[in-house]
């Protein structure tokens, strides 16, 4: 594509002024902070993890691979926390570190984040500053739009 839409569209089209759009950075802030409880059963060769995860099967498989276990050796139990929330759908470092620590020390390990940790460590939405130019026919129907550099 060569240039902005105004360089590519016919003359019978009206170009609206460039529109500046700012999308601020934001984050999910569920009422319940995240937390995990992990317990390694050396005799059975099984890891049990309790905690909120929107995608427990993916997270369980990922955890198993990182710990060098088969998925059948990992029980990831998702507690009822009243909602999935977009921020809980990721695999975070602590999702590996807490089970790793439990296996390493041979005892259950519990971790619960506080609000400050949540706001600094949880995934955030991207901040974006955009400029958009829109071309319209005389009927006011949009004929093209494209982000501008």
Token pair 């929107």 in the structure block, residue: 54
So where are the chain's domains?
5-25+130-147, 35-121
Query: Over the range 104-131, which residues count as b (16 or more CB within 10 Å of their CB) and which as e?
Result: eeeeebebebeeeebeeebeeeeeeeee
Judged by DSSP in three states, 123 sits in coil
35-121 folds as Aldehyde Oxidoreductase; domain 4 (3.30.365)
pLDDT tens-digit profile of 31-82?
A: 777 889 999 999 999 999 998 677 888 999 999 999 999 999 999 998 776 6
Number of H helices, E strands in the chain: 3, 8
CB-count exposure of residue 143 (10 Å: 0-12, 13-18, 19+)? middle
Whether residue 149 is predicted with pLDDT greater than 50 in this model: the reply is no
pLDDT tens-digit profile of 81-135?
A: 666 566 777 888 999 999 999 999 999 999 998 888 888 888 777 788 888 777 7
């Amino acid at each position: 594509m060569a240039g902005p839409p105004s360089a590519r569209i016919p003359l019978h089209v009206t170009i609206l002024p460039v529109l500046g759009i700012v999308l601020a950075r934001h984050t999910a802030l569920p009422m319940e902070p995240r937390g995990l409880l992990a317990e390694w059963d050396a005799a059975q060769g099984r890891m049990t993890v309790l905690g909120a995860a929107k995608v427990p099967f993916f997270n369980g498989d990922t955890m198993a691979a990182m710990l060098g276990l088969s998925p059948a050796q990992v029980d990831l139990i998702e507690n009822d926390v009243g909602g999935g929330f977009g921020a809980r759908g990721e695999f975070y470092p602590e999702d590996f570190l807490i089970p790793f620590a439990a296996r390493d020390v041979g005892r259950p390990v519990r971790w619960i984040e506080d609000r400050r940790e949540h706001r600094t460590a949880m995934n955030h939405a991207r901040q974006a500053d955009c400029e958009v130019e829109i071309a319209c026919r005389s009927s006011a129907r949009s004929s093209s739009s494209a982000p501008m550099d």
